[in-house]
A and B are shown apart, each in its own frame.
Chain A
């Protein structure tokens, strides 16, 4: 880093005090050289790779063209959960806005390293010249600067963790939105097939009624069922379209929802869960908001240290000043400090201590919530998994069996075509129940991942 000499440092004729001031500035300079403020997002990426299992290059600025190409390429294929993460990381403006929190915190670090500019003044312009001058520099800031920087760095770390936490939540939400959208599409497909069966039933009823073999009542019932099944399709269409738009927002892309390509079906149930206690321990180690809360305690503690060290010396500056004395200019160094008579820094200290206690309490509350959230998500996941398994292992095969048996009875003319189509509709209804349970399973899984703060091992 090349320190840039500043104009104000090259002031008046050198003297002892001038040398002292200059020296102080030189000490201060290395930390405050201006540089292009690139976002330090690598720590966030590192945190996310471990948690999502997806390595996602993120690009900004000129890279955004490349990024949008690669987003387009990913949108051209049916979205997988991993693709959803990549697209979100690349495309989601909300995430870019989140990352700027890091930029803000980074700027705070830089700001913390900067000294206030020396105050130069010239006074009493009479008789064709200034009769007084002074240059003053706060030496207290100089002393406070290392501690202040450390506090800002701690806050940057807190912010980085908070951002990583929010990004992790965002990509997990996007995965969850994908599951919901796929489920909505599958439901829509089942609703349409149910409608087809109900319409076949109504068509048959009309044909049977037409030749005089069916009650008006039965025909009306069949028609009512067909119309109801159509209404159900319309509802499912609305839900499918809405869920596509929710996915669009989760991804942060700028395309209409109906252009999204989706996988044909939800993934099957994943493997068995690790034991509950190990998951609770994992969450305590992995949750980024928990790490952020700890980091916040660290930052607050440093803040307390800083405040308490400079409790009585809130400010103070060294000055070099001169005054015209006839044709001579009398000049010399000076010192000014506030006398801690009234404000002895107790309020600032109190405030910093309160903030520390607050951070500690927040962390303590959060850790309890984390443990409970893990247990809650696990309970929901477990219930959804058992429900989906019940459907998969029993309900669906039994409903298929019912249809087969009904077909056999139909072949025996022990029941009519309407009973057969009703069995088929019940089978489709069971499929609906299965899709819903599988959807709930995946949503519960993503909830659990959010509760754990990382992937399920």
Chain B
């Protein structure tokens, strides 16, 4: 797709017009930005552009399930305030944990600014531990880089530090704790930092931000385990696991941008879009020259990277958008236990139920129905996946969300399912269709699978502890 070719040449006069409002500041960054950094203006030492304003200078991003960090302009500088603090966070209905984040949420609110802005970000530490914030991918003076101990002293509990720098690039960046990263990121100390170009040939109609992260929360536990290295069981977009993820609402033929960030501890994610092909237009290092862009349907987002995808949403419907690693579209459950596939469930029930009346054999024909069985599960835990869709159970969880493309966007569409026009829905084949097309279905040699999940015996008591 060549629709998303970024303006490769900058109109010098446009730049100067915007730059006329620049104010001089004493704090200087290094004069030359990295050669690869995306830049639409000429950054000269000490030159700060007039603060970019939403609507006028950029179309604000949408952070599903998230928020934008408010700012005020003080003497030409955008002033933000992040408060690092413990909080209660709901990953999905029924699963809440004691997390750490910013301004009452994880991920923290999305910071949005415009190339050339001077930003001053106060960070107040209300955590029980020291912290610091690293502005991931942003080119700035070394002392503002936020690496505790290396770039700066840690921010002690109760203290407020001030970060201040001029944005000399545009793109999709992140921020996260850089003090005791293993603990603080595992608990949710992260957020997105979007820098819009000062000059933009074409702004997207919808500009989404999805930050991936992964957590270990044992079923029934209340706090993510920072010691986990491998067995993460809660995988999230913007801190939410499906069905907790809010859908991405798009009008048909919108120019859509989706900025993917990944601050998982250990996992890369293959983010896959249905019904559309998208183009990788930017990485966190900058804009990809149009000829080098890569159209595809699945984009790998490695740990610590951002990938910016663009497409025209020309295909109406309800489209899955998810990580393609299958264990990343499950939630807490079903990650261990015995492989019961193919086992004679009735025989196992006969052996075990005399001892444990509320036992029933599961998984002998797979796990697709597990989420909807409604078996009692530990408190503060969520089934491995799923919610009810228009055609039955959607057995997906974790990093799964829905892109809803509609000819018209109406209020309440978030909760409405796509109604496919006639002839556009897969259905059971009718005999005359089979006959017409010469499809011969041999009758099965073995009887159809026995009712896989045996109803619990009549004495079954969902013995959820008080």
Contact = CB atoms under 8 A, between A and B. Distances in A.
Contacts of A420: 352, 356, 359
Nearest to A193: B355
Contacts of A210: 343
Contacts of B375: 411
Contact of A412 (B347, B351, B383): B383
A63 B383 CA distance: 75
Contacts of B358: 407
Contacts of B337: 410, 413-416, 419
Contacts of A212: 342
Given A407-B463, A414-B334, A421 B352 contact: yes
A203 B333 CA distance: 25
B333 A412 contact: yes
Interface in B348-403: 348, 351-352, 354-356, 358-359, 361-363, 367, 370, 375-378, 381, 383-384
B336 interface: yes
B340 interface: yes
A412 B359 contact: no
Contacts of B343: 204, 207-208, 210-211, 213
Contacts of A196: 354-355
A207 B344 contact: yes
Given A213-B343, A413-B333, A416-B337, A408 B359 contact: no
B18 to A, nearest CB: 56
A197 interface: yes
A309 interface: no
A414 B335 contact: yes
B178 to A, nearest CB: 34
A341 to B, nearest CB: 92
A199 B352 CA distance: 9
B377 A411 contact: yes
Given A208-B338, A213-B338, A405-B220, A413 B362 contact: yes
A213 B376 contact: no
Nearest to A203: B351
B347 to A, nearest CB: 5
B384 A413 contact: yes
Contacts, number: 114
A424 B356 contact: yes
B334 A208 contact: no
B443 interface: no
Contacts of B448: none
B371 to A, nearest CB: 10
A312 interface: no
A197 B342 contact: no
B338 A418 contact: yes
A409 B344 contact: no
B338 A214 contact: yes
A232 to B, nearest CB: 16
Contact of A401 (B334, B342, B361, B465): B465
Interface string A391-425: 00000000001011101111111111111110010
A200 interface: yes
B274 to A, nearest CB: 27
Interface of A: 193, 196-197, 199-200, 203-204, 207-208, 210-214, 401, 403-405, 407-421, 424
13 contacts: A211-B344, A213-B342, A408-B220, A410-B359, A412-B377, A414-B219, A414-B335, A414-B336, A417-B340, A417-B359, A417-B361, A421-B352, A421-B356
